[in-house]
Chain A
Amino acid sequence: QQKVQQSPESLTVSEGAMASLNCTFSDGTSDNFRWYRQHSGKGLEMLVSIFSDGEKEEGRFTAHLNRASLHVSLHIREPQPSDSAVYLCAVLTGTGGYKVVFGSGTRLLVSP
């Protein structure tokens, strides 16, 4: 069964500095990896969806996937206080790819 773990549990960065979040998974055969953002008390907002090894950029958010290392990361360029939120890594899995397994999240605080 796919296991998804995120690190660190929490992260504080200064406004404008790069923020880097990590996610490891147990089964590299999945073909879709995602990062979501969740502001306090709100729903999930998908930031980046990546299907193949390498890099995928969506605005200030860049995901790096290395399936052989069972690792996907998220880098946030020039983070703002409004980026303070919980960031969730998710991996598509299951027969036919119908299930999505989430990590427990990284809480990011961007200080002014």
Chain B
Amino acid sequence: EAAVTQSPRNKVAVTGGKVTLSCNQTNNHNNMYWYRQDTGHGLRLIHYSYGAGSTEKGDIPDGYKASRPSQENFSLILELATPSQTSVYFCASGTGGAREQYFGPGTRLTVL
């Protein structure tokens, strides 16, 4: 089965600090996605990528940057973390048109 891994699995950060969440996929999928999940909101798309070197804004990109240095890796960067960014973050990889999507196990981020 397709494999998507995330690191770290849990992270506590301080307000104003920089946080980098990493995602790796071994499926050779072109598309990768970052979502956050909050109670009452389901999953919301932050950034996505069509392939190495590309990043696109999702529905809630403010306060986040993304980086896709290779086919396998997609990072989410919080330059100045705020308590409102406390959430569970999910990475996913998928085929063209998101016809198939495979999710990682999630990263729980707490910003104090």
Q: Measuring CB to CB, which residues of chain A are less than 8 angstroms from any residue of chain B?
A: 1, 4, 32, 42-44, 46, 88, 90, 92, 96-105
Contacts and interface: CB of A to CB of B under 8 A. Distances in A.
A97 B97 contact: yes
Given A44-B90, A104-B42, A105-B42, A98 B101 contact: no
B97 A103 contact: no
| Chain B interface category by residue count | 20 to 34
6 contacts: A88-B43, A97-B98, A98-B48, A98-B97, A98-B98, A102-B43
Interface string B30-58: 01010100001111110010100000101
Interface stretch (B15-23, B68-76, B102-110): B102-110
Nearest to A36: B103
